[in-house]
A and B are shown apart, each in its own frame.
Chain A
Amino acid sequence: MRRMQHHFSGGVGLALVTGFFLSVLLAGAMSPQDPYRQEMEEQLLPPSWEHLLGTDDLGRDLLSRVLHGARISCLIALVSVNTALILGVPWGLACGYFGGRIDLLAMRLIDVLLAFPSILLAILIMAALGPSLSNVMVAVGLVHVPLYARQVRASVLVVRDLDFVAASRAAGATPVRVLARTILPNVLSPIIVLATLGTGTAILEAAGLSFLGLGGEPDIPEWGNMLTTTRQYVRTHPWVSLAPGFAITLTVLGFNLLGDHLRDALDPRTRGRL
C-alpha cells in the first residue's frame, strides 16, 4: 500500500515536471500568441476557446504568458541551483574532509546564514544588487549555498573514514583527487535529491522576489511578476491571478513530489523496500 502511494505520488511528480519541461521546450510552438502582444479590445477576457486561460488587463493571452513563463522559471532554476551547487558542494566537501579549524569557522558562517529566513536573506542580497531578473537568480542561488554545504558535509563525514577512502589515500592520491574521485561519487545521491527539491524551492522563492517587485521589468512573463502586476484584479477577474498561481503551484508540487520519491528511491535504508 505504502509502496503504491509512493509510486503514485512519484508518478504525479514526474508527470508535472515533464509537463513543465514540455512547455519550456515547446513554449514557442504551443503558444497561441506572442506573450507580449497587447490587444485593446481583449482586456480581461474570461477563459474561452480562443483564450484558454483568458487575457490579462493589457489584453495579453494568459496561456501564452504562462507557457513562456515556464522558460524563465526553468532558467531561474538552472542558474540558481547551479550557483548553489558550484559554491555549496566544494564548501561542504572541504569542511567535511579536512575538519578542524577550517570546518569550525566555515560551518559557523553557514549557521549564521541559515539563521536568516531565506527570503529575507534573498531580499538583502537583492537590495545590494538592485532589482532585475538575473539578480533574482543569483540571490536565490546564494541563499541556497548553505543548504548544500551542510548536506554535503554531513554525507562526507559518513564516508570519510571508510576503508575505501583510506585505501585511496594510502595509494598516494592527493586530497583533491580523493574528494573528486572517491568521496564525491558516494555523496552524490543526497545532492541529486536536494537539487531536485531545491529546484522547486528556487522557482517559488524567485516568484516571491518578483512578486515583491524585485524581478525587474513589469512586462516580463515571469510567474511571480504576473501575479504582482495583476493582483488588483483578484476579486473582480480572478483568472488573471489563477493562471500564474496554478503554474507556480503545480511546478513546485511536481518537483517536490519527484524529489521526495527520489529521496526514498536513493536512500540505502529504504531502497530494499521500494
Chain B
Amino acid sequence: MRLHLLWTRLALASLCLSPSVPASAASVLIYGRGEDSKKLDPADVTDGESVKVAVNVFDTLITYAEESAELRPGLALKWEGSRDGLNWIFHLRPGVRFHDDTPFNAEAVLFTFQRLLDAENPYRFGGAFAYSPSYQMIESVRAVDDLTVEFRLKYPAVVFLPNLAMFPASIVSPEAVKRWSKDFFRQPVGTGPFIFQTWTPHEKLVLKANPGYWDGKPGVERLIFKPVKENTARALQLENGVIHLMDGIDFADVDRLKQAAGVIVQTAPGMNLAYLALNCETRPFDDARVRRAIAHAVHKPRILKLAYHGYGQAGVNPLPPTVWGYHAGIEDWPYDPARGRTLLQEAGLAAGFKSQLWAMPNPRPYMPQPKQVAQVIKEGLKEIGVQVEIVSYDWNQYLDRVANGEHPMCLLGWTTDNGDPDNFLYELLDRDKAVKGSANNVCFYRNDRLHELLVGAQREFDPEKRRQGYLQAQEIIHQDVPMIPLAYLPLVAAHSTRVKGFRLHPTGVLRLHRVRLEDE
C-alpha cells in the first residue's frame, strides 16, 4: 500500500515536472540504417547509404514521379530535343538558390557537367567518377542564357534523360565546390529539400529543412541518419521510439514487427539484384567452364530459405523481372554438383581448388544477411571440390578493394538508379565499367559482343528493338556466367505510426521531403 502511494506520488511529480514540448521541436525525424555514408559528393558515390543522403540534399534537372520511375521536371521546368535527338534545350527553374545562398543558374549546370565529364577537371576529387561513363554520350554543354542550357550529344542516346534523373547528375553549388575543394564530400551544398548540417562518422548525420525549397518546405525540421549495424537492435530502437523510420529489416523479424504496437511495415516490389561476382580476370575464373561449374554448385532455393527466410525470388538474370526487358525465357543453371564436377574436370581442375569468397560485413537492402548467404554457398561449393575461405572487410574497405579487383569471388548487389535495363546490364557487366579503382563491373567481365549490344541499345530509340538487344545480351551473359544472380528482393521499411507520408519508391531512392512526424 505504501509502495503504491509512493508510486502515485512519483508519477504525479513527474507529470508536473515534464515540460510541455512545443510541436516544432518534436519534428526531428531519426532514420536508422545499417551503415554510415561513405561520401556525400553525389558525383563520387556508388553505395546506397551515401545516395540516401545525397538525394535529400541535392536536386537533379529531371526527377522521378512520386511512385514510379517516370520522369518529371526537377530543376529543369521543361526540355525539348531536336528531331535527330542530338540537341537538347533545358529551361531551368527560376529563383532557386543553393543552400549557400548562391543562385542556381546555367553556370551551375555547366560546372556540374564539366566536372562529371572531364577527367582533367580541377574540381574532380577522389580520382575517377564511377558514373562518368553513364554520361559519355554528352559532347558539350552550353549556356544559352542565364536560365537556358543546351546539351549536344555525340550520338542519340535513349538513356540520356533517365540518366539525368540519377543522383550523379545532381547539380552542385560551384561556389561550395571551389571553397571546400577536397572536403566537398564532407560539406555537400545543393538545392535539395534538406541542408547538410553535421556529420559525426558512424554516429549520426544531421540535415535540416530547407525552408525556401522550391517544391515546398519539408515536413520535418530536422533529419538525422543514424547507423545501427545490428538489424534487430535497429528494430528494437524503432519499437522503443528511439528511431522513427528504418530499413534493413531481417525477414525473420518482419512478422513480429508487423504485430508490434506503434509500428507499420511497408513492402513494395523492388528493382534490385543480389549476386555472386566471379572475377573473370583472375584464374581460374577466366575459364567460362569453371564459372558455370560454380553456377551448378549454388543452391538458390536453399539460400532463399535459410538466409532470406523465404522472402525474395531466386535470381536468374542480372536484372530483376520488375524492370522491363527482363528475359523470361532463360532457364537457370540448375543445382547439379555432378555436372559442376564434370565441368571442372574439363577445365583441368578435377581435384578442385581453393579460393576466397568475400562477403559484406553488414546487411544490404538486397542482402540482409551476407554472411549467412556466404556460408550456404561455401557448403555448396564443397560439393564440387572448391574450398573457399569466407573473407570480410570493413564496408568502405570492402567496396574499395572490390572496385580494385582484389577479390576472386565476392557477394554484392545493385539497386536501380533509374529503372532502366541499361542501369543493370551496362552498369554491372559492360567493359567500360571494368576500370580498376572505380569499377561497377566487379566481375571484370569484358565481352566485345556484349559491349556492342549494350552500346547499341543505348542509341536505339525504337523500344522493341532495344528490348531485343537486351534479350540477346542476357543470353550471352547466361552462357558466359560472369556473375551468378542470387536473388531479387522486395523493398521493406518499417516506421513508427507517428510517421506520415512515407512511401517506398520502386527505384529504392529514399525521399523524405514529404514525410511528416505527428506528435505523440
Contact = CB atoms under 8 A, between A and B. Distances in A.
B379 A38 contact: yes
B252 A233 contact: yes
Interface stretch (A12-20, A97-105, A167-175, A211-219): A211-219
Nearest to A237: B252
Interface in B148-201: none
Contacts of A59: 306
Contacts of A36: 379
A43 B371 contact: no
B9 interface: no
A213 to B, nearest CB: 7
A236 interface: yes
A145 B77 CA distance: 71
> Chain A contact residues: over half helix, strand or loop, or mixed?
loop
Given A218-B371, A218-B374, A232 B232 contact: yes
A58 B307 CA distance: 7
A40 interface: yes
B342 to A, nearest CB: 24
Contacts of B301: 40
B374 A43 contact: no
Interface string A225-265: 00001011111100000000000000000000000000000
A57 B252 contact: yes
Contacts of B305: 40, 43
Contacts of B309: 43
B256 A236 contact: yes
B390 interface: yes
A220 B374 CA distance: 13
B504 to A, nearest CB: 23
Interface residues of A, number: 21
Contacts of B396: none
A177 B59 CA distance: 80
A213 B378 CA distance: 18
B212 interface: no
B375 interface: yes
B306 A219 contact: no
B93 interface: no
Given A38-B379, A219-B390, A229 B372 contact: yes
Contacts of A57: 252, 306, 372
B246 to A, nearest CB: 14
Contacts of A44: 252
B253 interface: yes
A39 to B, nearest CB: 9
Contacts of B390: 217-219
Contacts of B231: 232
A131 B306 CA distance: 26
B146 interface: no
A38 B306 contact: yes
A19 B497 CA distance: 51
Interface in B218-237: 230-232, 236
B455 interface: no
Nearest to B236: A235
A99 B444 CA distance: 63
B376 interface: yes
Contacts of B302: 38, 40
Nearest to A42: B306
A213 B370 CA distance: 14
B321 interface: no
B378 A40 contact: no
A236 B374 contact: no
B361 interface: yes
A37 B309 CA distance: 18
B430 interface: no
Interface centre among A37, A40, A44, A234 (most CB of B within 10 A): A40
Given A38-B302, A229-B371, A234-B232, 5 more contacts: A38-B379, A43-B309, A58-B306, A232-B231, A233-B252
21 contacts: A36-B379, A38-B376, A40-B301, A40-B302, A43-B305, A43-B309, A44-B252, A58-B307, A58-B376, A59-B306, A217-B390, A218-B359, A218-B375, A229-B371, A231-B230, A232-B232, A232-B252, A233-B232, A233-B252, A234-B232, A235-B232
